[in-house]
Chains A and B, each alone.
Chain A
Amino acid sequence: MMANIIGGYFTSHVPGIGGAIMRGDQDTPYWKPFFAGFPPIREWLAQARPDVAVVFSNDHGLNFFLDKMPTFAVGAAPSYDNADEGWGLPVYKSFEGHPALSWHLIDSLVRDEFDITTCQQMLVDHAVSIPFELAYPGVESWPLKLIPIAINTVQYPLPSPKRCLALGRAVHRALQSWGGDERVLICGTGGLSHQLDGPRAGFMNPDYDMFCLDNLAANPDALTGHTAEEVAELAGTQGVEILNWIAARGAMGDLAMTEVSRNYHIPISNTAAASLLLEPA
């Protein structure tokens, strides 16, 4: 028996999406082209019924400060709360954790020479909450458990795209050796291209985004030809959140993938936004 990886769900996680949901703006001309990406994902999830989500994302200064900044951090908590991030978003529902599977991943990763940080307490910010608000709108409680994996995309040196893909593949090996029969959804959140800070604020790169979207399923190694700094140059400084997508793709394993749905839209807030759903072919 081993955990059953049923698919990979990738989406942008811009805080503005939370504002749009709060205001009920999903069908306005500005927001509709973005939210239009989600009905196929919701239908697929309703059929696929994942039990656990392994979510690769980056903290934006809610859980981690610069006093201690782990490159890779794996949650091992019984539950994960969201909290006030300071800009008026609602506080989102808590997630139930899966400590036994978390510790199995941690054991396997460290044996695999990924010297990760472990977190028995961990707040999750909009980068985790908003993707599930999009996937399961209006539910009273989340229908799946969470294992969050945080990647440092804030303070250089960042892990390279190559290292993030390798981390994901190590997570895949760990899931394959798990004794349970949970249905596991892999998630990567953030991006795509955007730049918030400095004179280049507002920069996007649709060509690079398309390169990522076109290669993620069939040839994820193509995304590892750049350093993190080069990704920042190509995708914008905050566009390096593609690292979360790369790691998540690695965690799906090296089988061929079918693209169930894809949506790409410019702009939401300052960001080129995308959603993507892959399942093993």
Chain B
Amino acid sequence: MEHHPDPTAREQALRRTIPLFDGASATRGYELNAMCFSFNDKANRDAFLADEDAYCAKFHLTPEQRKAVADRDVLAMLDAGGNVYYLAKLAGIFGLGVQDLGALQTGMTVDAFKAMLVEWADRIPTKECA
């Protein structure tokens, strides 16, 4: 593991490697996240479904963001600065939940992804003290 004597450097390294949604991502993804935030309103969800191109244009999505949305490519949306809390509202339009998103992002089938989640239960530490 990399050693970072400077705590700021360690924070920055973790933000890059995990990766975490920081100022750079928030700047890069602003338009896409703004569009997704608008999907709290049903009228906006309906407008997106009625004319996706026009709706994306209204929010000035970058070409990278527009392509990621058109391709329904979650990892590309994240790369384009999308934040999952907002992207979840876009996923909701297509009736996709977080397990569908998990499957799309990991390349697993939804069933395999769900089975993987269940397997985490095997790692619950058992208490030895009475």
Contact = CB atoms under 8 A, between A and B. Distances in A.
A198 interface: yes
Contact of B105 (A65, A155, A156, A198): A198
A62 B37 CA distance: 8
A237 interface: yes
A237 B99 CA distance: 16
A197 B84 contact: yes
Contacts of A233: 14, 18
A155 B11 CA distance: 14
Interface string A52-70: 0000000011100111000
Interface string B86-97: 111101110001
Given A154-B21, A230-B14, A65 B42 contact: no
Interface majority SS (helix, strand, loop, mixed), chain B: helix
Interface stretch (A3-11, A81-89, A250-258): A81-89
Contacts of B14: 227, 229-230, 232-233
A202 B116 contact: yes
Q: How large is the interface on B (under 10, 10 to 19, 20 to 34, 35 or more residues)?
A: 35 or more
B50 interface: no
Interface majority SS (helix, strand, loop, mixed), chain A: loop
B30 interface: yes
Interface of B: 7, 10-11, 14-15, 18-23, 26, 30, 33-34, 36-37, 39-42, 45, 74-75, 78, 83-89, 91-93, 97-99, 101-102, 105-106, 113, 116-118, 120-121, 123-125
Given A87-B92, A156-B21, A204-B117, 19 more contacts: A61-B36, A62-B40, A66-B26, A86-B89, A87-B97, A154-B85, A157-B22, A196-B102, A202-B102, A202-B106, A204-B120, A207-B125, A227-B11, A230-B10, A232-B14, A237-B20, A266-B121, A267-B121, A269-B98
